[in-house]
Amino acid sequence: MYVALRIEVRTLTGALRGVPALLRLLDEYGIQATFLFALGPDRSAWTRWPLGHETLAERRRTAVLRPPHTPGLLLGLVPPAPLIGPRALEAMRSCRAAGHELGCLAHDPVAWERRAAHADPEWTRIELERALSAFDSLLGERPALFAAPSWQVNPHLFAEESRLGLGYVSDTRGRLPFLPLLQGVHGTCPQVPTTLPTLPELIGRDGVTVDNIHQFVFAESQYVAPQGHVFSAAAEIEGLRMLPVLERLLTMWRGSWGRVGPLAEIARGLETARLPTHQVGWTRVPGRGGYLAGQGIPVAL
């Protein structure tokens, strides 16, 4: 069993506090992962109820996952919001030096979550190129992949990813790698979807607590996935208060004759010409509000 560890870094807190803690843990276990950085404005406050897409009930249910006194509660409410990229550069360099795979999220995850699903081609192109350019200007190299925040996509995104010749991306939820088809647009850039539920989706449901949540994630990872599973973590959650939970998961995955590593290991074994094409549809995930882009039925072209 192979589990790809996909870690999103969306805020200054995640970059400055979460990433160093995660690097120490991963180094201790000899594990490499994929880090996905947002490099634009930190508008953390806009993700909180009542401004964000979460309901008050969801916010209360998942509060136990976050530190009780998170700094920067008002970040982004009063412009200009601080830029993550320049202050995250040292964290990015540390990830690279440790051999981890580096990719990027959208430049402004809050704007992406609110607009991407219904955005036009021009907005999508500008936002994607802005994310890739910010990464290149900081590290002097192209990111290994792009990932759409909160799994929000549109057909223009798949067209742009294909046009830019990205090796692979991780924009969707699903079961196995595939080529996407959405509203007549057939993407030629392989999707490596997230296959496992996240901690915020599980906590507080069906008897799931902080003490046993790792057991539920581990149980989900026992379902057969030929190319391996993908677990999506967050530097602001697994890198801070839930670091012990991630450590227990790493121990269980390795102890069950499994391996944990970056998304690149799954992507390396893919032959684009032989990948199945699947319709991308909007789906609901238990424990998360709104709709996410999910892998749908296979399509014969």
Strand partners, 73: none
Q: What share of the chain is helix, strand, coil (3-state, %, to 5)?
A: 40, 20, 40
Per-residue pLDDT of the chain (301 residues; tens, 9 = 90+): 899 999 999 999 999 999 999 999 999 999 999 999 999 999 886 555 444 566 667 777 888 888 765 555 555 455 678 899 999 999 999 999 999 999 999 999 999 999 999 999 999 999 999 999 999 999 999 999 999 999 999 999 999 999 999 999 999 999 999 999 999 999 999 999 999 999 999 999 889 999 999 999 999 999 988 899 999 999 999 999 999 999 999 999 998 778 999 999 999 989 999 999 999 999 999 999 899 999 999 998 7
Contacts 24+ apart (CB under 8 A), 195-198: 195/225, 195/229, 195/230, 195/231, 196/3, 196/220, 196/221, 196/229, 196/230, 196/231, 196/232, 197/285, 197/286, 197/287, 198/231, 198/232, 198/233, 198/234, 198/288
Dist. CA 14–CA 214, nearest whole Å? 21
Please give the pLDDT value at position 58. 76
Tokens of 60: 């209360």
Dist. CA 247–CA 1, nearest whole Å? 18
Structurally, the chain folds into a number of domains equal to 1
Dist. CA 97–CA 12, nearest whole Å? 20
The answer to whether the beta carbons of residues 5 and 261 sit under 8 Å apart is yes
Q: Give the domain extent around 203.
A: 2-299
Q: Which of 42, 40, 22, 41 is nearest to 32 (CA)?
A: 22
- H or E segment at 231? strand 229-234
Q: Which of 90, 75, 105 is nearest to 170 (CA)?
A: 105
For residue 201, what are the CA distances in angstroms to 54, 238, 288?
A: 12, 14, 6
Q: For residue 160, give every residue at least 6 positions away whose Cβ sits within 8 Å of its Cβ, in sequence order, or none.
A: 121, 124, 125, 128
The answer to whether the beta carbons of residues 15 and 82 sit under 8 Å apart is no
Question: Is the four-CA dihedral 270, 272, 276, 279 of positive or negative sign?
Answer: positive
Dist. CA 249–CA 244, nearest whole Å? 9
Q: For residue 251, give every residue at least 6 positions away whose Cβ sits within 8 Å of its Cβ, in sequence order, or none.
A: none
For residue 40, what are the CA distances in angstroms to 33, 82, 88, 151, 172?
A: 22, 8, 10, 18, 22
CATH number, residue 116: 3.20.20.370
